[in-house]
Structure 1
Amino acid sequence: MKLPDTAHTSRPWRIHQIAPDFRLEDVWALPTPGGPDDLPRLVASMVGDGANSFPEGAPPVVRFLWNARQRIGALLGLDGADSGVGTRVSSLRDRLPTDLREGPRGPDFTDVPLTSLYLLQDEWAAEMANRTVHTIMHIGWVPDGSGGYHGQMAVLIKTNGRLGAAYMAAIKPFRHWLVYPAFLRSVQRDYAASAESV
C-alpha cells in the first residue's frame, strides 16, 4: 500500500542526515508482519534468490517490462560500467558516520545492482546508480500500532539532469501500477517463506 511521504519523513531515520540532497520519490508499506528483531530476516528474504524472487516470480507483463528496460538500457548505454556507483557517482558509504561505516553493512542483492550501505535493528539502506539516476532503497522496520512490526520501503532519488528527470517521469505509471505491486507481492511471498524455514 502506498503511504504519504510523512510516513518516512516523520521518522528519525539515519538516512535523512546521510542523503539530504536526495528527493523522496515513493513510500510503501510492506506486507511483512513480524516482531521487533525481524528486520534482518526481511532483508535476507529480499536479497535472496528464491523461486518467487523479483522479477522472475512476477506476472508476465512485469517481466516483459523489466526485460524491455534492460534491453533499452543496454542499447542506450544507461547501465554501463562507467555509469554506476563508484564511477559516475561516489558511493554514499563515503558519507556514512563512523558508527555506520564500521557497523554491519547488510547483504547485497543477487540479481539487482543494489549495494548495501548499512544495516541497523530498524533500518537498512542500499544504493544503485546508472546514467539517469542515483537511487536509495530504504527499508524501515516500524511498529504497526498493535504490538507488532512491519517493513516500510522508501525510494529516494537524485536524477541526472534532464535525461534523469524525463526517465523518472516516463516510468512512474509503470512503477506505481505494475512494478511496485508485483515487487511487494514477491517480498511478501519470500518473507513468508523465510518464516517457514526458520
Structure 2
Amino acid sequence: MRIPKAAHTAQPWRIHEFTHDFRIEDVWSFRTPDAGPDDFPVMAKALKTAYDNRKDPAAVRFLFAVRWKLGALLGWDTSGAGLGRRVASLCDRLPLDLAQTANDAVPCADPFSEVYQLDNEAARELGNKTVHTIMHLGWVQTDDGAYELRMAALVKPNGLFGRLYMAAILPFRYIVIYPALTRQWERAWLDYGRPNRHTGDAARGEAADQD
C-alpha cells in the first residue's frame, strides 16, 4: 500500500544522515502478519530468498525485458555508468559504525548492492546512466501494535535525462511494478519469513545455554 512520504521522514532512520541530496520518490508499506519487533532480519533474509525463487507476472517480465534491452542498446547500464564510476557509492558516505554492517551472508541476484543492514532498517543501492537509487527498508510498529515492512525509494536523477526517464516510467511503476512487488513481498513473509521467525531465537538460546 502506498503511504505518505512523511511516514518515512518521521522515522528516526539512520538513512536520513547521508541522503540529503536524494529525493523521496515513493513510500510503501507491506503486511507481515504475526511479526514481532525483532523480525526485521528474518524479513530481510526472506526477501532475498523470495527474489531468487520469484515467478514474476508476464507484464512485469515484459517491462523489465524491455528496460534491460533498452539499457543494453543505449549504454544505460555499463560499468562506466554505475556505482564507483558515474556516481559514488553511498557506502563512501557511511559513518564508521555502519560501514561494516552490510549483510552478505545470504547473497541475492537482484541488481541492487548492499549498503548497510541494522536490526530495524537496511539500504541497498543501484546506479546507472539514468539515476542513482536507494531502496530503504524499515521495520515499523503500527498503531495497533503490529509490525510491518516499509520501503522508501530515494532517487537522484541524472540531470534532465534522468528526470524525464523517471517521469516516463511512473505509470508503469504504479500500475504494474508496485502491485506485483506488494504481492511478492507480502508472500515472502508468509513463505520464507514467518515459518523461520523463531530460528534466530532458538540459536541464541542454545548459545546462552552453552555459556
| Structure-1-length-normalised TM-score | 0.92
Match of 1:71 in 2: 69
Once the two structures are overlaid, the 10-residue window that deviates more, 169-178 or 113-122, is 113-122
- When the two chains are superposed, the root-mean-square deviation of aligned CA atoms in Å is 1.6
Match of 1:17 in 2: 17
List aligned pairs for 1:1-198, cutoff 5 A.
Answer: 1-33=1-33, 34-48=35-49, 52-53=53-54, 57-102=55-100, 104-107=101-104, 110-194=108-192, 195-197=194-196
Contact 1:52 1:190 in 2 (8 A): no
Question: How many angstroms does 1:66 deviate by?
Answer: 1.0
Match of 2:202 in 1: none
The share of aligned pairs that are identical, in percent, is 45
Distance of aligned partners of 1:39 and 1:171 in 2 relative to their CA distance in 1, 3 Å threshold: same
Post-superposition Cα deviations, 1:22-75, rounded to whole Å, max 9, x if no partner, equal: 00000000122310011111111112256752xxx2211111111111111111
Q: Runs of 4+ in structure 1 displaced over 6 angstroms? A: none
How many positions carry a matched residue from both structures? Answer: 194
Contact 1:47 1:110 in 2 (8 A): yes
Larger radius of gyration: 2
Match of 2:204 in 1: none
Contact 1:106 1:124 in 2 (8 A): no
Q: Alignment partner of 1:64: what SS?
A: helix
| Structure-2-length-normalised TM-score | 0.87
Once the two structures are overlaid, the 10-residue window that deviates more, 129-138 or 106-115, is 106-115
Gaps of 5+ in 2: 200-211
Query: AA paired with 2:195?
Result: E
Contact 2:131 2:158 in 1 (8 A): yes
Q: Alignment partner of 2:125: what SS?
A: strand
Post-superposition Cα deviations, 1:168-188, rounded to whole Å, max 9, x if no partner, equal: 000000001100110111111
Gaps of 5+ in 1: none
